[in-house]
Each structure stands twice: as structure tokens, then as C-alpha cells.
Structure 1
Amino acid sequence: MTFEVPAVDITAYVQDGTVEERAAVARAIDEACRTVGFIQILGHGIARETQEGLASAMDDFFALPLEQKKEYRTPPGINRGYAPPKSESLSLSLGVESASRMNDFFEAFNIGASTADYPEAAAAGVIDESDYSPNTWPDRVPTFEPRVQAYFVEAKRVAETLTTIFADALGLPAGFFDAFTTHSLDVLRMNNYALPPGTVDLDGDLTGMGEHTDYGIVTVLWADQVAGLQVLGSDGAWHDVQPADDALLVNLGDLTGRWTNDRWMSTLHRVKPPIVDGTIQRRRSAAFFHDGDVEAVIATLPSCVDEAHPNLYDPVTVGEHIAAKLAGSRAGVRNAAGRETARVLSAGT
């Protein structure tokens, strides 16, 4: 059986589509979420100029000397700022014992929603800077902030459009996910896999980004059309995935898997960037993580539990789940994630 990431045009939800057109999109999304967990999204409405602005901002920042980029590094508990190469191991977010050192050969820069974005929740004491940290903007790169923020706003719109589709696809009341995302822990992670010569010893297997699932509700990924991203299929093999022309890649996070009792798939994926003439071929990506409110309780949907499908998950708050994941990937603390660990260990190389 051939592995394929389905392509779905969501124009009917971005614009004013008919009831029939929207129903067709919802059916296609449900099928993709049940069978693959990754989707090529077309008709998303993010202007090419906005995408090019994001790409140019990333290029300008990652071109800085390493010591200058390190000026914008933050402690492991703060999911903002610069992450140098080999400072993370995403496999540890799954609890894989063999991932015993920080070995992911990528660098990244994170921004996200802060308390300033949700003043009412902050004033009420519902959120604070421990989860909604201020952003660290690189002042060495002119106009970095407006270029990245313009894309952040559009990616958030796409993510919210997708949750509207999810509610229809799952037969839930319209706006179901709104109650869980009034002050969502949204993060944009910009990744770079082109490392300077001499920084990586290529005498063994190179992992650009270790196998992992995403943590939250849904991820919207902008990426170069360069090989590297691999998705674990139901056949237990890793398959290469690249975005189609004008498409964004979308995948589900763990919280949606928990909500749906694994009816919908939070799919394992990794990055193994190609090596050409002894150097890593350049690859850029920017993942927008739509993760939900920190205090929101995620419990399995009753419609996804029956005699043949017993409940697999205890309720958990968004904050508890993501804190455990980040402790693994950024602080080197193995996460106790038994079901996910088994999937990694049973996969082929």
C-alpha cells in the first residue's frame, strides 16, 4: 500500500462556502485524520508575501554568527528565543531511553503568545508569565519582529479555521474548541538545518530532529520543498513528506489524539536532512503550534468511547501535558509516555 499525505482544499471554510461544500471538506479532514494524521492544506489564504516575509526574517537571523545568536537564548523552562544546535532531544519528549543526550542537529528560534496578548486573563490571574512568557526579539535583525508577527497572525487564523472544521468533522457543536482556546498557548518555532562547516561530525547517523509527536491540538507547518521530514506510517515504516506547491502541512497533536481516543492520529514524525558532499542540505521550516489554554482540561470525547474502543486516557490539563513534554525535549528529563514510546521502539529505521 502506497503512503500518501492527503491534500484538502479548505477554501469553503476560509471563504463563505455552501453547507454542502463545507460538509465535503469536513469529511475529507476526518478521513485524513483517521488514516494518516498529516494533511496537505490548500486554500489556506496566507498571502505569498507574508510567507516570503517570514522566510526572509529567518534567513536574516540564522545568518548571524553563532555567538550573536546565543545572546537570545533563554533557560530551558522558557519556550522562547534561540535554541542552538544539539541543545535538544525531542525523542526524550516520548520517553525513549536511548535518547540519552542532546543530539538534534538543528537550531531554532521561538516566539509565542504572551500575557500581553491576553490582558483580561492576565488581569484575572488565570495566566502568568511562567507559561505566557514575553518574547525575546533579536534587535540585531531589523524588522524581524513585524515580518514574523505578520505570519504568526495568519498561522493562528488557519489553526482556528482548522478547529472549526474539526468540530464539524467530529459531529461536535459549532465552536466546541473555542472554550479551550480563549488564551491558547500558541508558539511559532522557526527551524534551520543548514549548519556551518565543521560544526557537525558526520561519522554516524545524523538526526536533524528526533522522532516525536507534537504536543497540542494542531500544528500548521510552513516548510521548504526539501527532503528531510519523515512520517511514521501505519505500516511501521518512515516515509518522506514534502509540502506540495502552495500547501501548508498540518498534523494533529497529542491533545487531539487524547480527545478522540486515538480515533484521530497524533502521528510520529522526525527530520533527517539530506547530506550532500559531506554537508547538510539547507532546509527551513516554521511550525505554528496551537496548543490550547494552559488550565483547560482535556478529557476523552464520549462519542469516541464505546465497548470496542475503551477510554485510553485520563483527563489532563494542557499545561501539565506540555510541561512534561518540554521537560523531555529541552531539559533532558525523560517523559513517561508509554504508548508513544512503544510506537517509536517498534518502528523501523
Structure 2
Amino acid sequence: MLHVPTIDISPYIDRQGSVEQREAVARALDDAASTVGFMQIVGHGVPKSAIDGLTAAFDAFYALPIDVKKRYVRPENRGYSPPKSESLSMSLGVANANQMNDFFEAFTVGAGRSAYPERPDLPASSYPENVWPDDVAPAFRAGVEEWFAHARKVSRVLLHAFTDGLTLPTGYFDDLVDHSIDIMNLNNYALDEGEIALAGELTGMGAHTDFGILTVLWADQVPGLQVLDADGVWHDVQPADGALIVNLGDAMARWTNDRWLSTIHRVDPPIVDGRIMRRRSAAFFFDGNFDATIETLPGCADTDRPGYSTITVAEHIEAKLAGLKAGVAPTGVEREAERLAAARSAS
């Protein structure tokens, strides 16, 4: 069975642990990153009050009528995405029978250009400003921004630990993340009454890999998240009490030449008494600078396994977004697509 380890990162929070304690955490992270690409993180320092504020924001917005929520649809990667407007599996070049059939709805926020006033030259295409729903203001924005700040801090703490786990010099990634494309999706998995009968070809969130450095995920303890192992078998993963789920993205896999794994995963909440069981999640994507170059890290080159072609963070994200939002298959994802096509349900 696939094992997602639980790792206490408290020695890295505000550098409060000893050198030996941090070394032990870095080794555990290295092991998890190289074997499964997923981990459960505890000792992260995020207070319960922040989770309460996040869930209150969730419930306030998603209780709005669909026509009200659609007022906040934006062409850029911000605001509201209705059900069946995306297909995550197309980010791997694998089409669904009905194309845009992921039934989750989402609200996306991120670091706009105003988050980096020292860099007025940042492109709006990578750093669009947020749209905030007036109908549930100001509590929605306050709850979301507080959680965003905590997730952002956790991601930076983890990057420091990852640097140690890869035995790279301290601060190695600093110049690659000082104006990072940080994005968070508030995902709501549900369908209106009556639509469940139409759900034969629908998926909660299609199989995909994440695009950036790492993802910090808060989720309800409701079944649905599944991770694909190296043998093509899907396994259920649920957050432990008080834990955040963390997984690596494509940028880290490419940097490490697949020493560390960007693992395919999907979401399919269960159907109970003919209804989809509601599931909420907040996925914070720590993607790196738009102009950061993704190329093989020192010590990760392998003569038997050529490294990936060089690409920038923005180029990679744009290709993936074209897949999930417009149905345009990206190039260079053949390996992942073959794994997905061969996947089977765990017995």
C-alpha cells in the first residue's frame, strides 16, 4: 500500500529546533519526496482560528446562488470558476469524453503585481490582481487572506528544509522565489440537487500533477483525494488530524531530474444516498518566479537519464493552464499521460 508519511516540521518553524533535529526533518522530507511525492505535515504553526476563518469564508461564498457567483468569473486566473468549466487531465494531454467535465467549482486568489511593489515591471499575465466578492465582504477577504499568509509562510519554511534535504547551499532558491507566483484555489466539490443523475462522465477533479514547486493543502476529512503510485494503482489519502497535505510540483521534479516526484493525483468525493458528499479544500500553489529557469540542479544530473529541457516557470504554467481551461494539450507530458492511461483502481 502507498504510504504518505506524517512529518513534524516544528524544528524549522522560526528555526527553533537544533541542527540535529532539522537534519532529521530534512532527511524525512527527502525520503518522502523521492518515494511518493506526498507528505502530511504537522507542527506547522497554523492556528485553528485561521482554519475557522477560512471555512467560514468558504461557506459564505459557496452558499450564494450560482448566478451571483458567476458575477466573479474572470478571464485571467482569478475569481470564480463554475462547475464543468475545467478539465485537469488535459494538463497532462489526456482528454475526457466530455472535455470540460470536472464538477468542482473554485475561487482563485493570488499574489498580484501589487504584492511586489519593488517590481512594477512584473507582467499582469502572471500576476493579475484579485477580485473580491462584494456579496460576502469583508469577512470573506479577511478569512482568505489570513489563510493565504499562513500557507505562504509554511511553503517558505518547507523550501528551506527542502534545500537542506537536497544538500544545497543555504538560500539556494532565494533568487528564484523572491517574486513567486503564489496562487490559492478554494475548491468546493458538490452538485446541485438533480445534477447527480448527469454525473456519469463527471470527475471531481481530473488526474493531474501540480505545476510549481510545492502545494500546501488544507482539506476536509472527507474521502476523495487519490494518489497514483508507481505501479499505476490509485490510493485514497485523507488528511490526519491537524495535518496539512503537501505534495511536490513539476518545477521541483524537473529541477531534481525526477529524484523527487511530482505525483499524479485526482479528486472524486464519494456518492452517498445518491448525492455527492460535499468536500472543501484550499490548495496553495508555491510556483516560483515567473522568469525563474527550471533546469537540472547540481548533483541531480544523470548520464543514464537526460535532464528535462530548460523552461521558465511562466512558460510551463501557461502551457498547463491552456490544457485545463482551453483543452489545448501541452507538449512534453508524454510520460505522465502514459502513466495515467495505464492507471487502474486499487483493489
TM-score by length of 2: 0.96
SS at match of 2:238: coil
Q: How far, CA to CA, are the matches of 1:35 and 1:194 in structure 2?
A: 32
Count of aligned residue pairs for this structure pair: 342
Cα deviations across residues 95-151 of structure 1 (Å, max 9, x unaligned)?
Answer: 1144551000100000000000001112xx2x1212100101001003111110001
Tell me the residue number matched to 1:90: 88
> 1:195: how far off?
2.0
| Counterpart-to-counterpart distance in 2, 1:97 and 1:72 | 27
Quick check: 1:73 aligned with 2:73?
yes
Q: Secondary structure at the match of 1:246?
A: coil
Which residue among 207, 211, 217 is the counterpart of 1:211? 207
Distance 1:311 1:99, change over 3 A: farther
Paired with 2:95 and 2:283, the residues of 1 have a C-alpha distance of: 26
**In the alignment, residue 78 of structure 2 is paired with which amino acid?**
R
Identity value in percent? 56
Instruction: Structure 2 unaligned segments of length 5 or more: list them.
Output: none
Counterpart CA distance in 1 for 2:131 and 2:96 is 33
Residue from 140, 147, 158 that aligns with 1:144: 140
Aligned to 2:61: 61
Partner of 2:33: 33
**Is residue 113 of structure 2 the alignment partner of residue 118 of structure 1?**
no
Q: Which residue of 2 aligns with 1:21?
A: 21
1:155 and 2:154 are equivalent in the alignment? no
8 Å CA contact 2:232–2:340 kept in 1: the answer is no
RMSD: 1.2
- Cα contact 1:295–1:317 (8 A) shared by 2: yes
Partner residue of 1:335 out of 302, 309, 330 = 330
Counterpart for residue 10 of structure 2: 11
- For residues 282-321 of structure 1, the aligned pairs below 5 Å read 282-308=278-304, 310-321=305-316
Residue-by-residue CA offset, 1:253-303 (whole Å, 9 max, x unaligned):
000000000010000000011001111001000000000000111101131
Matches within 5 A, 1:159-308: 159-202=155-198, 204-308=200-304
In the TM superposition, what whole-angstrom CA distance separates every residue of 1:166-216 from its partner, at most 9, and x where no partner exists? 100001011111111011000010000122202343462541000000000
Q: Is the 8 A contact 1:9 1:42 kept in 2?
A: yes
After superposition, give the CA deviation of every residue in 1:40-84 in whole Å (9 maximum; x if it has no partner).
000000000001101110110000000000000011xx1100000
Measured after TM superposition, the shift of residue 235 of structure 1 is 2.5
Amino acid at match of 2:108: N
Is 1:42–1:246's contact at 8 Å kept on the other side of the alignment? yes
AA of the residue aligned to 2:177: T
Query: Structure 1: 5+ residue runs without aligned partners?
Result: none
